[in-house]
Chain A
Amino acid sequence: KAGVTQTPRYLIKTRGQQVTLSCSPISGHRSVSWYQQTPGQGLQFLFEYFSETQRNKGNFPGRFSGRQFSNSRSEMNVSTLELGDSALYLCASSSDRGRTEAFFGQGTRLTVV
């Protein structure tokens, strides 16, 4: 069974640009969550999608948005990039059978210059 796949693995963008990150969950998983990891802050929850609907949302500005497609693949978009958006962005998928542990991808390392 293939794991969670995130693309691209590394990305360098300039302030003011926008970026789209992609996540393919484990086959059969319908829940996809996105996290931002920065040094000392742990994993900050961005949002969760389940069956194409945003189920939960963290405390991030509206520049951060996401969506999920019918095949459960998810994309995350950040507009008007700021230097502080530089981070590791992690995607996690889980099954829809109640509460189970999440499986994480390797993440996308975004650097904003």
Chain B
Amino acid sequence: DQQVKQNSPSLSVQEGRISILNCDYTNSMFDYFLWYKKYPAEGPTFLISISSIKDKNEDGRFTVFLNKSAKHLSLHIVPSQPGDSAVYFCAASRGGIMKTSYDKVIFGPGTSLSVIP
């Protein structure tokens, strides 16, 4: 049973437009969410995170929105650039950001984003 879902395996967006990547989760105990980006032949790199006490977190061109009631989060990239073309993984865990003991991080299957010049 996949606890973190990314229902769109791929997404194509024109350069300069907004990219919206979606993620749904089933475990209501999750309270910390992360997005990672992965280029071919490289390991994933951390992009942005959000705690369940917030509903939005921004970092430059990247914004993550969290809707706890819908168990849904999304990553917005504005404006999209060709260098953003990569696989994006949504991940979730529980335990609270300050706890030193926390549960494992569960990753979704990923969404492959292509930004067309």
**Chain A residues engaging chain B, CB cutoff 8 angstroms:** 4, 33, 35, 40-45, 48, 55-56, 58, 90, 92, 96, 98-99, 101-107
Contact = CB atoms under 8 A, between A and B. Distances in A.
A107 B43 CA distance: 6
B47 to A, nearest CB: 9
A50 to B, nearest CB: 9
B102 A106 contact: no
A43 B35 CA distance: 13
In this complex, the interface size class of chain B, counting residues with CB under 8 Å from chain A, is 20 to 34
7 tightest A-B CB contacts, nearest first: A104-B43, A101-B46, A42-B109, A43-B107, A56-B104, A99-B97, A42-B107
Interface in B1-33: 4, 6, 9, 32
Contacts of A92: 43-44
29 contacts: A33-B104, A33-B105, A35-B107, A41-B109, A42-B6, A42-B107, A43-B89, A45-B105, A45-B106, A45-B107, A55-B101, A56-B103, A58-B104, A90-B43, A90-B44, A92-B43, A92-B44, A98-B100, A99-B32, A99-B93, A99-B95, A99-B98, A99-B99, A101-B49, A102-B46, A103-B46, A104-B44, A106-B42, A106-B43
Interface centre among A90, A92, A102 (most CB of B within 10 A): A102
Contact of B89 (A33, A42, A98): A42
A53 B102 CA distance: 14
Most buried by B among A42, A99, A101, A107: A99
A92 B104 CA distance: 12
B45 interface: yes
B46 A98 contact: no
Nearest to B107: A43
A28 B45 CA distance: 19
Contacts of B32: 99
Given A43-B44, A104-B43, A99 B96 contact: yes
A56 B99 CA distance: 15
Given A98-B100, A101-B49, A106 B41 contact: yes
